[in-house]
Amino acid sequence: VQLQASGGGLVQAGDSLRLSCAASGFSVGDYTIGWFRQAPGKEREGISSMRSQDNRAFNAASTKDRFTMSRDRDKNAVYLQMNNLEPEDTAVYYCAATPRRLIVSAIRSPEFFDHWGQGTLVTVSS
């Protein structure tokens, strides 16, 4: 199982970015998938996650109106469309996956995810 995140970069406040996460060794349709981020000096936090069995999702309150997660089974990839970026969004962004059938309240928590990509840095300047 491997995940490779890409698409990060340096942008200005108000700009958009689309992060991609290419999966191999498993099907993204069969796993619960999530996007997480970790800012300097802060704990890793859940941004958006989607269960495999019914697509029920978790979206963080701070980003749910600006970020959208999607899953493409044909390309075996997941994406995070980020609009109207703010300096507070500066962080390393990770995609993660687990085959576990989690309850909805658990899919926001990084400790329940077994496989992680290497992370991609997003820097938003003011």
Contacts of 125 (CB under 8 A, 6+ apart): 10, 11, 12, 13, 87
Q: In 9-44, which positions are buried (b, 16+ CB within 10 angstroms) versus exposed (e)?
A: eebeeeeebebbbbbeeeebeebbbbbbbeeeeeeb
Please, which residues bridge with residue 40 across strands?
none
pLDDT in tens, 30-48: 999 999 999 999 999 999 9
Query: CB of 73 within 8 A of CB of 88?
Result: no
Residue whose structure tokens are 């996956």: 97
Q: Place 54 in a pLDDT band, splitting at 50, 70 and 90.
A: confident
Residue 55 predicted with pLDDT over 90: no
pLDDT in tens, 56-115: 889 999 999 999 999 999 999 999 999 999 999 999 999 999 999 999 889 999 999 999
pLDDT at 118: 94
Judging by DSSP bridges, how do beta strands 45-50 and 57-59 pair with one another?
Answer: antiparallel
